[in-house]
Amino acid sequence: MLKPTSLACTLSIALLVALGPLATDMYLPALPGLTGEFSTSPGRVQLTLSLFLAGFALAQIIYGPLSDRFGRKPVLLAGLALFVIASVACALAQSIEMLILARFVQALGGSAGPVLGRAMVRDIHGPRESARVLSHIGSAMALAPALAPILGGYMSVYLGWASIFWFLALVGLFGATLLLLAIEESAPEEHRHPKAVKTILGDYTRLLRDPVYLGYTLTCTLAYSGLFAFLSGSSFVIIEYFGVSEEHFGLLFLLVVVGYISGTLTGGRLSRRYDYRRLVGVGALVLLVAGGGMLAIALNQPGQVMSIVLPMMLFMHGVGLVMPQSMAGALANYPHMAGSASGLLGFTQMTVAGLVGVAVGHGYDGSPVAMALAIAVTGMLSLVVYLLLLRHPTDNAESG
């Protein structure tokens, strides 16, 4: 077994957390082609993303309490098994309806990785150190969305879109084997106890009444929703509007991920000097500036793809600052129910992001405006939430 605080264990957890982004991003280059493959509309194809997010959200509020009761490892293994089975079903889908359903089930399994991975980090490293570790995990797992669209683009062109899901099934199987053989249970025995449904609902009510938890959860949610707006619209905007090939789409997506990596690295470095509340505020300001800039450009009918990619790089730098720090802030005061706190955060994050994705998909009119508008609004709201709930420390806030 790996030592819980070792780099190898941290990277193993990062792989499990990365299953969600990998399953989301790898088949982005194939989305425009699926409209022809299944003779359907872009909005309907986009449901394979938004309903994936719905499944991701729903499962997290279940996985959290289950892991607080039975431990992280057995619950995570069950989720990975479901992910592998559903990935195979995606590869074998013969209609868009079958693919949408299989993607929903795939999300039910895949969401175990992020929600329980965050809880494992909190179990192992505590409140302050978890902010730094989550930032470094964010940097490591950024390799998934960085490389996934590139690999997915070539696989879609040369092997067909179904090959992407066969690959995801293999990754899930590898992750399950790694978890079973190399990673120890992280949830302390004294924190594991049966919970009635009434108690679980009471825990969630307590979390929602905590303005600090709510502030960190909403800033994380809005940052991710801006990212998901880009995921939902970028393949159509970049491939159809700007005329970029599927293979080259991944290279442009890589530039956007570089912005995210730079944000997580900056957050990890500065977390030793500044508490995560301040870093979340700086990140929210970056989101506002970048989102507003992209919308202004989009409204003027841009002719160059980099006019959209560059402000998105800046936006992703803000996402890289906000998300790991806000996750650590949300979980800091709840070691006894880190699974439930992580699950509610994930549920909120994925639900809102899914709704934003639906709006972008149905608002797409052949231009970048709908996507840019969603990114600008989420950036603005993230700063509003920070100013209302997190700007001034409270008795419950973790000062770091």
Task: Give Cα separations from 182 to 105, 168, 263 (angstroms).
Answer: 27, 21, 30
Q: How far apart are CA 373 and CA 64, in angstroms?
A: 33
- The highest-confidence range among 121-125, 335-339, 351-355, by mean pLDDT, is 351-355
7-185+193-390 is classed CATH 1.20.1250.20: yes
Share of the chain above pLDDT 70, in %: 92
Residue 400 has what pLDDT?
37
Cβ-contact 215, 348 below 8 angstroms: no
pLDDT in tens, 267-301: 878 877 888 889 999 999 999 999 999 999 999 98
Query: What does the block give as tokens for 173?
Result: 């199987």
pLDDT in tens, 358-377: 888 888 888 999 999 999 99
Name the residue among 52, 239, 271 with its Cα closest to residue 152.
239
Residue 399 has what pLDDT?
38
Query: What does the block give as tokens for 113?
Result: 């990785």
pLDDT in tens, 71-96: 888 899 999 999 999 999 999 999 99
Residue 284 has what pLDDT?
97
Q: How far apart are CA 346 and CA 348, in angstroms?
A: 5
DSSP 271: T
Query: What does the block give as tokens for 243?
Result: 């005329």
Whole-model pTM?
Answer: 0.74
List Cβ neighbours of 198 (8 Å cut-off, separation of 6 or more). none
DSSP output for 90-153: HHT--SHHHHHHHHHHHHHHHTHHHHHHHHHHHHHHHHHHHHHHHHHHHHHHTHHHHHHHHHHH
Residue 396's pLDDT band (cuts 50, 70, 90): very low
